[in-house]
Amino acid sequence: MTAARLALLGGTPVRSQPFPTHNTIGAEERRAVVEVLDGGNLSQFLGTWTPDFYGGPRVRALESEWARHFGAKHAIAVNSGTSGLYAALGAVDLRPGDEVIVSPYTMSASAVGVLLYGATPVFADVDPRTYCLSGDTVSAVLTPRTRAVLAVDLFGHPADFDGILAVARGQGLVVIEDAAQAAGALYHGRPAGTLGHLGVFSLNYHKTIHCGEGGVVVTDDDDLANRVQLIRNHGEAVVAAKGDRHLDHLIGFNYRMTEIEAAIASEQLKKLESLIRPRIEAADFLRERLAAVPGLHPAVVAPDCRHAYYVLAFEYDAARIGCSRERFVDAVRAEGVPLHAGYVEPLYLQPIYRSRLVGSASGRYARGTCPTAERLHDERLFYTTLLHPGLSRSDLEDVARALEKVAAGATVLAGADPAAVAARGHDRA
């Protein structure tokens, strides 16, 4: 396979048709929504101390089903995964001056939620194999002010919770698990989302199961569950009538899920396993099919873990392939296969931190704070979302063929790629 055949250089692309999409919403969800509409009760939350403080029958049914499915004592439905993170952080009773250790390589809400309560996000680097926090990276940034750890199961792979919890026990810290991308993943036989003191799931439209927007918080701790429920629904207005004490720092919001969203989510939960299996099979196929391509390293799966494959990430070795990651990704896209370079810029490089509106003169938000995350984003990581049910083996073959084709012709691409030429010169120096 010669470089002259690459589509980016004028050749015929591997694929000219779009990949098929897959709609996880079916007749079951439609029937459930119609039942809610026919009943006319689209939401039953009241921000006063009545039975309806906890929402309507569909919300409460979803919470029972979710808790049972994941083996948690409590499940609290909310209107988004972001709201769930904010409620979980509020339940910890953060105060100004407290610090929360967070990942730099994740969606912004995981860190911004800390700011909501006047606390300070402290960014720990990620493990170079799983892209998640580990016990070692958390230990490296502990201070006497550390109050909690918020660990993200990035791309659907659980973080190192044995290591993180060992650190937390020694320091009396609360651990929150952001399992937004990891519903269906397993860690040593335990479901992702149940591995910390609080776990947060997302039901956003592009998650494996969804209800458009929504989320669920789980915990085995009665007090934390109570605080999340209060934060969800204007809790400051009900604590006196409810008889709660020591909640002076708690502020409630409107994080309430509607009956329609709950009805959809209940049906989606039943499909979780059937939607996860094809993703695992697709990832396993691509992993095996591309094993012989030097310089492409699919994300690892840690021992005794199950990856939920929100996406399949690869680590890219420009020196082995022969051109920069950006040039490689552009060439694969030209072959008709969508790829994404990097993921998100490390969060501490966002303006809210760089401007030091919430920053620190110590340089904890400076470039170089988390070198592994920066290297992954700037040079080494790319990913595909082509794992969903509805993809045929032929579709997956096209993904593999495009990656193989560009890898075989990458050295010619590099001739017009100044970044790769500079990188090779640096390697020889």
For residue 340, the domain's CATH number is: 3.90.1150.10
Of 231, 253, 270, the last residue of a domain is 270
pLDDT surpassing 50 at residue 426: no
Of 230, 255, 270, the last residue of a domain is 270
Question: Could you give the CA distance from residue 304 to residue 361 in angstroms, rounded to a whole number?
Answer: 42
Burial of 321 (0-12, 13-18, 19+ CB in 10 A): buried
248 and 199 fall within a common domain: yes
256 and 285 fall within a common domain: no
359 and 372 fall within a common domain: yes
Burial of 383 (0-12, 13-18, 19+ CB in 10 A): buried
254 and 337 fall within a common domain: no
201 and 85 fall within a common domain: yes
Q: Is the pTM of this model over 0.85?
A: yes
**203: domain CATH number?**
3.40.640.10
Predicted local distance difference test score (pLDDT) of residue 411: 86
pLDDT digit string (tens) for 107-144?
Answer: 999 999 999 999 999 999 999 999 999 999 999 999 99
377 and 413 fall within a common domain: yes
Q: Which residues contact 27 (CB under 8 A, 6 or more apart)?
A: none
Domain contains 66:
yes
41 and 86 fall within a common domain: yes
Domain contains 43:
yes
Question: Could you give the CA distance from residue 125 to residue 139 in angstroms, rounded to a whole number?
Answer: 10
Buried b (16+ CB within 10 A) or exposed e, 276-308: bebbbbbbebbbebbeebebbbbbbbbeebbbb
Q: Does an H or E element contain 417, and which?
A: none
Predicted local distance difference test score (pLDDT) of residue 86: 97
H helices of 172-237, in order, are: 222-232
pLDDT digit string (tens) for 188-228?
Answer: 999 999 999 999 999 999 999 999 999 999 999 999 999 99
Count structural domains, the chain. 2
100 and 236 fall within a common domain: yes
Distances (CA, A) of 44 to 224, 229, 236, 249: 23, 15, 19, 27
Buried b (16+ CB within 10 A) or exposed e, 167-201: bbeeeebbbbbbbbbbbbbbbeeebbbbbbbbbbb
Domain contains 16:
no
Arithmetic mean of pLDDT, 311-329: 96
172 and 258 fall within a common domain: yes
312 and 381 fall within a common domain: yes
285 and 405 fall within a common domain: yes
Question: Could you give the CA distance from residue 129 to residue 244 in angstroms, rounded to a whole number?
Answer: 45
Question: Could you give the CA distance from residue 200 to residue 223 in angstroms, rounded to a whole number?
Answer: 16
Domain contains 253:
yes
The partner residues of 149 in beta bridges, in order of sequence, read 101, 175
Domain contains 20:
no
pLDDT surpassing 50 at residue 361: no
| pLDDT-derived band at 414, boundaries 50, 70, 90 | confident
Question: Using alpha carbons only, what angle is made at residue 300 by residues 296 and 304, rounded to the nearest 5 degrees?
Answer: 160
Of 245, 270, 295, the last residue of a domain is 270
Question: Could you give the CA distance from residue 283 to residue 111 in angstroms, rounded to a whole number?
Answer: 29
Domain around 165: 27-270
Least confident of 56-70, 114-128, 231-245: 231-245
User: Do 382 and 316 meet the contact criterion of CB atoms below 8 Å apart?
Assistant: yes
| pLDDT-derived band at 420, boundaries 50, 70, 90 | very low
Arithmetic mean of pLDDT, 315-339: 96
Domain contains 14:
no
Domain contains 21:
no
Least confident of 232-236, 239-243, 378-382: 239-243
